[in-house]
Structures are given as structure tokens and as C-alpha cells.
Amino acid sequence: MTKGSKAIISICLVFSLILMGMGVYLIFMPETGSQGQVQQGDVNNNNVQNPNVQQNAANNQVQQNPNADANNQVQTPADNANNQAQTPAAAPEGDASSWNTQQIIDKLTLAMNTTKSSTGNCTAHHKEGITVEITDCPGGNTVKNLITPLVDKFTQPTEEDITFANGAGTNAKGEAVTFNSIPPVDKNFSLPAAGVASAVASSDGTNTVITVTLVEEKTTLASPVPQYTSNVIGYLNLNNLDLGSVKIDACDFTYTGSSVTATIDSNNRLVNIKYRLPMAVTGSGSMGFIKATVGFTGEQNEEWTFNWG
């Protein structure tokens, strides 16, 4: 989603902690450590290092710039037709609750891209967080109970206030941001009707409230780009990450109904937007001689509220 996404760092953290937890499990409980999904390989085939795994993951920022090079964590293929900006000729009129799916998409697309291209002034409040639930862990509850508090501590939600002047501001980390920093980051919002599972709209005074839920999408470590979710919210890419001695061998993602809820003013600008990115993840990884298959579910949430000057 945003650069430095908690979701991608959390996934790396879960992998790392499970593998390290399995190391403790094998050392202190050797009579049961060989059971389940843990395998012992040839230590000589693994270059074991001891960097700070969480920091290495954090240093590999999630990027969603369509002009980024191949080493960026999020890439937008130039030949993907769905990456083209969709700019309706005009917003739909009349009672929003009577709009069809395409009219709702048109209104949302206009509001998103009007906001993302704005050079106006406003104050914004930004919230972001992720929840993670481990569903498949070698070593059972012993390892799960060992690492869950660490994951929970890392995934605490964050909030910040940003003042935009002429379309530019600075976030809490001191990074330069623009309105194009809202998801999908550094690109236009784009959504064909084929990517929509449901869409509803209603009027709230002079504002319009829209909720769009996307169809389920599945991706892999080798092919990480979901066709629709990538152009509405973003996606997770674990390739090219430096995790030291931790190696992620395979990872399958299921985006289980991502959604966007937007409140739009009479000038077709966002007043508030909420993103939900629920997912189920299964994968395998290794650290030294320890190998494991893991599974977990998670949901990244992000919200922006704009007070226009």
C-alpha cells in the first residue's frame, strides 16, 4: 500500500520469527522438534548470517511507482492495460443509490484521480495498521505463543497529521509526500467492472459515500501482481528482499475481498477514504538448517481524512 508498508514487513517478520522460534524449539525440545513440517537440511548449503531481519525488511520499501526499476518491491508492468488512467467524461447525476456499477466506478475514479492530481491546500489525518493471525505453524502452539506477542507489538497502528501546501507535504518520517501518495501510490486509480464483486453508493447531504469490494485474487511469489487490487490499493511483493539468513522459498497470497470506502464532496474530492486489504498467506522458508511451512491471515487497513482549505 504505502511506501514502507507494515504488511510486507510483518510478513517477513512472521517468517523470521517462526524460523527462529523453531530453532529454540529444536534446541530445547529435541524429542518433538523433528515432528510436523520442520525439516533439517544440509547446513553447508546455507550461508547463515545474523543481521537485524526486521530492519532489513524495513529498508526494502514498498514502491508502487510505474517507472521504478526491477529492484523495487512493487512494480507496475507498463504493458498492463488496466494501469491506464480511467477518467470519466463527467460524474453521474441523480440519486446515488440508484446508480449502476459502472456509474459508481466512474464517480469513484473521478474523485480518486482528481484528488491524486490536486495541487491544493489541506490538512490530512492518516492512519495505518495491520492485524496478523498465525494459522499454520510448525511446533504448534509452543512456537505460536512464543512469537505472537512480538508480532502484535510490531503491528500496532500508527497515525500522523500532514499539512499539504500546493499539493505537497511532509509525513511523520520526514519524507516528502503528495496527494499521489494515497493508494494506489504514485499512479492513477483504475478499476474495470470485471474487478468488482459489489458496489454501493448513497448520498449524505452534499457528499456521496461509495463502497466498492473487489473480486478475490490469487498471486504467487513469482507472479505477485493482482490484476485489480494492484490498481486500486496496492499489493505485496517479497522479491528482492535482503533478509540475511532467512530465505523465503515460496509464498502464495489470496486477496480475499479488498475494499475501498470513500466519502466524496461536491467538488469530486475525497473527504475520507478507507482501504481494507485482507489476505491469506501460505509459504515456506528456511534459516540455516531449519525449514518450515507456515500459514497466516492478515488485514491491512489504511485511512485518510482530508480537510480542504
- CA-nearest of 192, 188, 196, 189 to 216 is 196
Average pLDDT over residues 167-176: 95
The three grid cell numbers given for residue 155, joined into one nine-digit string: 503491528
Cite the DSSP H helix spans in the chain: 6-28, 30-33, 53-59, 101-116, 140-154
Average pLDDT over residues 86-113: 86
Report the C-alpha gap between 2 and 160 in whole angstroms.
Answer: 13
Question: What are 125-157's pLDDT values in tens digits?
Answer: 999 998 888 888 877 787 788 778 877 877 789
Task: Find the Cα–Cα–Cα–Cα dihedral 41, 45, 50, 55, rounded to 10°.
Answer: -90
Where b means 16+ CB within 10 Å and e means fewer, 173-208 reads: eeeebbbbbbbbbbbbbbbeeebbeebebeeeeeeb
Question: What are 258-272's pLDDT values in tens digits?
Answer: 999 999 999 999 999
Cite the DSSP H helix spans in 126-186: 140-154
Grade residue 19 by pLDDT with cuts at 50, 70 and 90.
low
SS3 letters across 272-285: EEEEEEEEEEEEEE
Report the C-alpha gap between 253 and 269 in whole angstroms.
Answer: 32
User: Residue 307 burial by CB count (10 A; 0-12/13-18/19+): exposed, middle or buried?
Assistant: exposed
The one-letter amino acid code at 300 reads Q
State yes or no: pLDDT of 42 exceeds 80: no
Report the C-alpha gap between 79 and 100 in whole angstroms.
Answer: 29
Grade residue 15 by pLDDT with cuts at 50, 70 and 90.
low
First-to-last alpha carbon distance for the chain, in angstroms, is: 26
At residue 179, what are phi and psi to the nearest 5 degrees? Answer: -65, -20
